[in-house]
Chains A and B, each alone.
Chain A
Amino acid sequence: MTASRERLVVIGNGMAGCRAVEDILKRSPDRYEITIFGAEPRVNYNRIMLSPVLAGEKSFDDIVINDAAWYADNAITLHAGRAVTAIDRARKVVEAEGDLTVAYDKLILATGSDPVRLPLPGADLKGVVTFRDLDDVDQMVAAADAGGAAVVIGGGLLGLEAAYGLARRGMKATVVHLMDVLMERQLDSAAGFLLTEALAERGVETVLSAQSEAILGEDGKVTGLKLQDGRVLPCSILVMAVGIRPSTALARACNLPVGRGVMVDDQMRTGDADIYAVGECAEHRGIAYGLVAPIWDMCKTLAASLTGDEAATYEGSLLSTRLKVSGVDVFSAGAFAGGEGCEDIVFRDAGRGVYKRVVLQDGKVAGAVLFGDAADGGWYFDLMRQGADVRGIRETLIFGQAITEGLSGLDPSAAVAAMSDDQEVCGCNGVCKGQITGAIAAQGLTTLDAVRGVTKASASCGSCTPLVEKLLKLTLGDGFQAQTGPAPMCKCTHHTHDLVRQAILAQDLKSIPAVMQAMEWTTPEGCASCRPALNYYLVCAWPGEYQDDKQSRFINERVHANIQKDGTYSVVPRMWGGMTTPDELRAIADVADKFSIPAVKVTGGQRIDLLGVKKDDLPAVWADLNAAGMVSGHAYAKGLRTVKTCVGSDWCRFGTQDSTGLGMRLEKFMWGSWTPAKVKLGVSGCPRNCAEATCKDVGVICVDSGFEIHIGGAAGLHIRGTEVLTRVASEDEAVWTICALVQLYREQGWYLERIYKWMDRVGLDAIKAVMADETERRALYDRFSYSQRFARIDPWAERVAGRHAEEFNPLSRRLEFAPA
């Protein structure tokens, strides 16, 4: 050691401080006499490996980066557990606890960050911890040893790792997250959904969209967390993992420029030429990083500038994230922002629980989310950082590096031709190329369906369909006929409506993301065509259980009114069986006056339409109609609309039965039900058919001996008379039959397929056969009745009471100025 050496003082013995010193020593081992201050009373360890320590998968010794010998070997003075209290820039000294003063020539701030503590009532109770250092881990381990429940506030990377670790140690762990997607900064909603499921399998429950209100305690110790919705989650330890804040107190106190972090230039220099900052305490070009990779980049530049290489610059870092939860492989990098030239490539493998999404922008990788198989994360990240043009490998990109590079240079047809006969084409059914080409040749197969029928190739998940088609083309040349038969639901999937509906029931799929994963959707979140369809299929399959997804409904069903060409809405209250009263009419007239509703029209379905209502007025209009006893007429719904009747035996001299009464009874029982497409009913009291029942989806013609039930009429784009389904003797039987019939349609119809189209597809005879089977008819009726228990709710009254108020109110008051 010589007196000529410059004195370097490092405040912070964490990952950044020590890595900076390591990098400096590598470049110039003898340049500095080094002193390191550390707030924790221990040597330097790998903070990001605290999660495995908490989970019991590693010990503290495993995660030590530099042991005591390293400090000694490099003649570094370590003041561990001794906090620096001030920096005196004029005298160029740092002052520490215990009257210690150390002079510096160069100073590095590597003070890291502090965990954010939410200012909740009860935040100072014993058992409320953050997840930052080994002391926090020790507290959590001690709590876990006593058993019980743990609550973690924050569903980000750190919070999830904390919860997983506590669950591994035998606690019942619950993550409470403010957002509706876990790790929402890194994951899209599809991957977030899978993560929620995977954590549940590992004993970590998730409560999303949950606002914490207060931490509850007894005798100064935490006992639970109260949420704003009133729920209480009991716990004996509560971890706050809601983010970090750069630790800047020292820098601030000595008047260095501080934004969110200590501001540094591209050489990592602060506002003082002799003071540098690095790691989580630093703010570079407006960004304060909280991940390890940027820290390594910063340290490299810092070491260069402190050893005389002024040319080295830090330009900021692209970020990638990996979650450290055993068996849950999650990777995320870049952005998923859409925009011009953006394209999603999605791959799902339901069997292996894999979801991959790569976002391309202008032919380059802009972002990637991988769940379940993140092996290629590094490769995508490299492509992203290099800004490589991937248009040439677009076809195979999603399958990863091995496959892409294995096939490079071959065009897709040549690649298929080059496959050996024993190479597997269909993973689901274990079918090799040779079996497929063999069957095509031997049995003269010419269509995809035929190949599916004989070999089962591409008959399950369908993802190898393009490959099987290429094999057909290759084997047959011009003899190949393109696929006919039922089309897929939409461009997001290879599957038909029927297959998706079967899977929903068979695999207990109870949410849109669950269906998309199980059925290997090829887009991250579906489109405006499949989302409403899936929402309906789930509503139909799981009454009372499925949570309706409002954002997957067409606007009319979202706001319970019909949008008009000028963006206003029309409102149609229900008039049971087309009957009304003077009071109802007065209320309608009053509403029309009060809200200056420009048009009032009598509809073809025997009700009154109020046209031109402003969206903001809808709840108030409904409130007045509700007050007069009226409910939504669902004139906007893919569901039961009107039941048109004639006056029947009550008044008409030809009437054979009480058609008005039957119509009202049907409507009162069936209202609110969702169906694949709109359903209109008509009940005529005699064959003169004044209610025009024979052009309705389901019609009833009353006759002396009972009731004729008709099906499959339409008077819209197509005009069709009904077919007779059956004749029944009593009104009860008529109601049972119609409800069973509508339930059959609800379960079999494709979304937006009217009853007559469904009838044409499955055949009237098939429908008749089901309805003739007493047991089956009964079961259908029972399922309809059960479903109706959850459906006969007036959506207007719910919204008058405040449900989805945000849908009807503008985001802000009217702006004074126009947009730029």
Chain B
Amino acid sequence: MNALVKEPTVTWTDVGAVTDVPRRGARRVPSPRGDIAVFRTGDGQVFALIDACPHKGGPLSQGIVHGSTVTCPLHGRVIDLATGEATGVDRGTGCAPVVPLEVRDGRLFLGLVGG
């Protein structure tokens, strides 16, 4: 993540409140690079990934969130929310890119480039 934060042109954009994302669930944020999936785990942690499974591009935001993973709704790949990587037997088969995400005062900020 540090490598991403180093980008000098990153702008942080408020996309909503942490509580707008259901526990053990996700919401989508449309972007020029396709949807971004913002997840919130049962323990209240939040993560953001590009909303596409490394397997066949399934929308991860529509999967079941358990622990700090999500199960892709299309073919059941289990993706680690912190790294975007496939886990278990599928480890090493690809990765959904991580989107920089910060929480400030209960609001979600995504790190974007441009402007």
Contacts and interface: CB of A to CB of B under 8 A. Distances in A.
A185 B62 CA distance: 26
Contacts of B62: 555, 558-559, 563, 567
A815 B110 contact: yes
Interface string B24-38: 110111111101101
A56 to B, nearest CB: 34
A362 to B, nearest CB: 13
Given A811-B15, A818-B32, A524 B67 contact: yes
A148 to B, nearest CB: 32
A339 interface: yes
Contacts of B10: 820
Contacts of A526: 66
A198 interface: no
Given A815-B29, A819-B110, A525 B64 contact: no
A334 to B, nearest CB: 12
Given A811-B20, A819-B112, A528 B43 contact: no
B59 A342 contact: no
B92 interface: no
B59 A338 contact: no
Contacts of A552: 24, 64
B80 A338 contact: yes
Given A340-B82, A531-B66, A551 B22 contact: yes
Most A CB contacts (10 A, CB to CB) among B28, B38, B56, B97 go to: B28
A761 interface: no
B27 A810 contact: yes
Contacts of B24: 525, 551-552
A344 B23 CA distance: 19
Interface string A778-820: 0000000000000000000000000000100011111111111
B83 to A, nearest CB: 5
A337 B68 contact: yes
A342 B56 CA distance: 26
Given A338-B82, A818-B112, A188 B43 contact: yes
Nearest to B98: A819
Nearest to A811: B27
Contacts of B45: 336-338
B56 to A, nearest CB: 7
B94 interface: no
B63 interface: yes
Nearest to A188: B43
A594 B114 CA distance: 36
A246 to B, nearest CB: 15
B72 to A, nearest CB: 9
Interface string B60-78: 0011111111010110101
Contact of B22 (A179, A555, A806, A816): A806
A348 to B, nearest CB: 16
A532 interface: yes
Contacts of B4: 820
B59 A188 contact: no
Given A336-B43, A338-B81, A525-B67, A817 B30 contact: no
B66 A527 contact: yes
Contacts, number: 160
Nearest to B41: A338
B67 A819 contact: no
A189 B36 contact: no
Contacts of B66: 523, 525-528, 531
B100 A819 contact: yes
B7 A820 contact: yes
Nearest to A357: B43
A593 B63 CA distance: 30
A565 interface: yes
A818 B65 contact: no
B30 A810 contact: yes
A811 B21 contact: yes
Nearest to B40: A551
A556 B73 CA distance: 9
A818 B99 CA distance: 10
A107 B74 CA distance: 64
B29 A812 contact: yes
Contacts of B67: 338, 344, 523-525, 527
Interface string A172-211: 0000000111001100110000000000000000000000
A531 B56 CA distance: 24
Contacts of A810: 27-30, 35
Nearest to B101: A819
A314 interface: no
A525 B28 contact: no
Contacts of B44: 181, 184-185
Contacts of A185: 44
A565 B31 CA distance: 20
B80 to A, nearest CB: 7
B67 to A, nearest CB: 6
B113 A817 contact: yes
Contacts of B71: 527-528
A188 B45 CA distance: 10
A342 B20 CA distance: 26
Contacts of A189: 23, 42-43
Given A528-B66, A551-B22, A563 B30 contact: no
A806 B29 CA distance: 12
A817 B27 contact: no
Contacts of B68: 337-339, 342
A758 interface: no
A736 interface: no
Nearest to B23: A180
Contacts of A559: 62
B50 interface: yes
A554 interface: yes
A777 B90 CA distance: 47
A337 B46 CA distance: 9
Contacts of A556: 73
A819 B82 contact: no
A819 B50 contact: yes
A321 B115 CA distance: 44
B11 to A, nearest CB: 7
28 contacts: A181-B23, A337-B45, A337-B82, A525-B42, A527-B67, A528-B76, A531-B64, A551-B64, A552-B24, A554-B64, A556-B73, A565-B74, A567-B62, A814-B31, A815-B15, A815-B29, A815-B36, A815-B112, A816-B114, A817-B31, A817-B32, A817-B114, A818-B31, A818-B114, A819-B48, A819-B97, A819-B111, A819-B113
Interface of B: 4, 7, 10-11, 13-16, 19-25, 27-33, 35-36, 38, 41-45, 48, 50, 56-59, 62-69, 71, 73-74, 76, 78, 80-83, 85, 97, 99-100, 108, 110-115
Pairs A-B, 7 closest by C-beta atoms: A338-B68, A339-B82, A817-B114, A811-B27, A528-B71, A817-B112, A551-B24
